[in-house]
Copies of this chain bind each other. A is one copy, B any other.
Amino acid sequence: IADLLPAKNGEEPTMQFLLEVVEILTNYVKKTFDRSTKVLDFHHPHQLLEGMEGFNLELSEQPESLEQILVDCRDTLKYGVRTGHPRFFNQLSTGLDIVGLAGEWLTSTANTNMFTYEIAPVFVLMEQLTLKKMREIVGWPDGEGDGIFSPGGAISNMYSVMIARYKFFPEVKTKGMTAAPRLILFTSEHSHYSIKKASAALGLGTENLILLKTDERGRVIPADLEAKVIEAKQKGSVPLFVNATAGTTVYGAFDPINEIADICEKYNIWLHVDGAWGGGLLMSRKHRHKLSGVERANSVTWNPHKMMGVPLQCSAILVRERVSGLLQGCNSMCAGYLFQPDKQYDVTYDTGDKAIQCGRHVDIFKFWLMWKAKGTVGFEQHIDKCLDLSAYLYNKIKNREGYEMVFDGELCTNTTAPSCFCTVHSIPKVAPKIKAMMMESGTTMVGYQPQGEKVNFFRMVISNPAATMSDIDFLIEEIERLGQDL
């Protein structure tokens, strides 16, 4: 690598090296969309650690040749998982958007940091405009409010708790949690575990996070919230924060935001909507009613890297109140080496002090570029298609011999893309066995898990723009093929 830039005369070898890398990558892209390619070529950890034919993961003292580096790149992709494959249904983030990919390539080439306008002028403005647009779509007048992109939904949700605490008990910032009464958070028993992580990390304590009962479809029962709020107050605690989930991780359920908002307003509690998964539905005129009432939330998490198909990582925390500068107030420490007040430009564009991070990766560009390329209508079409496919799967499974839906079909119109079902051999060991065989054969991937008293069942996620009805058919056939010998 001594020949590469910044070496003298390094231009030629650098261009040649990068183009060889691009050839490896574009071949990978092509094959990812080819259904005859496997989704993965599974190996156990010990196998990869022992080294596969010239692929040695160990780091060494001396440099490798550029030829070996190219081989390493090829092997890294070979033994990985093709998350963009049309038959990869395993996680909430699937798919490989070509424009988003180009955006990420550019982002890494620009290799800068979001903390100041000084070193990221274009990206800072793109972030500002995109956040405003997202707030408009949430339904806040003129897109007013605040927000920031964070490294993921868990951190976005953590922000929401921090901001709520700062809003009601700003002295916690300086004096710590002992300056506040016992604060209580509420969230659905089906909600994402990041709310629990936040309550542990921020010093509130997981025991002060109250889990709310859900109906058979996995939606919070508002009466249970109100009862528990009253109970907490009777015990002398302060109900601080309610999380309503828009698209739960497993069932894809939407909590009834309006009814929850009524209770939050009545008792003066911060309402957060975790739309990490379901936020994408706001782009669809047909489906956005599932988040009806979201405009009443004080804060919203929305991950474009999930249902909208933006490459990882891309998550936004949106805050309704702007005037008081909650986000800034909550996190700012005014570091003199970054946020000098005497710069020549308008320093209100230096947004770094709003973050709990210092350096912050540029997550905006790929999303901005995809939005340019698709238009708002393009995202809408994608969301509508995902929901159509979800309905297709539901109808296919509903009356099929050997399967049952995990939750009541009548309510299915209130769901989003994840569809949960199990085979009738729904003893806890069947799903793991089928999944293991699926990974060994590498033909498709779908997740499974237990939930509450339910045994291991499959959770089918549809967010991949490349998936079609035939891929859904394939998945079902594959489950049946693999399950035959059990």
Contact = CB atoms under 8 A, between A and B. Distances in A.
Contacts of A374: 1, 63
Nearest to A418: B337
A69 interface: yes
A22 interface: yes
A207 interface: yes
A436 B344 contact: yes
Contact of A313 (B179, B193, B338, B361): B361
Contacts of A59: 129-130, 133, 368, 371-372, 376
Contacts of A372: 59-60, 63-64, 68-69, 72
B119 A48 contact: no
Contacts of A292: none
A205 B179 contact: yes
B108 A105 contact: yes
Interface in A37-88: 42-46, 48-49, 57-64, 66, 68-69, 72-73, 75-77, 79-81, 83-84, 86
Copies of this chain present in the complex amount to 2
A429 B77 contact: no
B174 A207 contact: yes
Interface in A455-486: 456, 459, 465-466
25 contacts: A5-B33, A6-B86, A10-B33, A14-B29, A18-B26, A45-B346, A45-B349, A48-B122, A57-B122, A57-B126, A57-B129, A62-B377, A63-B375, A76-B122, A81-B112, A96-B111, A108-B108, A152-B360, A172-B205, A174-B205, A202-B202, A313-B359, A337-B449, A340-B448, A344-B435
B5 A29 contact: yes
A396 B250 CA distance: 63
Interface stretch (A153-161, A227-235, A261-269): A153-161
A11 B98 CA distance: 11
Given A18-B29, A49-B125, A121-B43, A101 B109 contact: yes
Given A1-B374, A45-B346, 19 more contacts: A4-B98, A5-B98, A10-B33, A17-B102, A18-B22, A28-B109, A48-B125, A60-B372, A62-B377, A69-B102, A76-B123, A80-B122, A119-B445, A152-B361, A155-B357, A178-B182, A249-B337, A312-B362, A342-B428
Contacts of A344: 432, 435-436, 439-440
Nearest to A194: B358
Contacts of A456: 340, 342
A91 interface: yes
A45 B345 contact: yes
Contacts of A18: 22, 26, 29, 98, 101-102
Interface stretch (A214-222, A328-336, A387-395, A403-411): A328-336
Nearest to A130: B59
Nearest to A96: B111
A312 B6 contact: no
B22 A152 contact: no
A26 B20 CA distance: 12
A285 interface: no
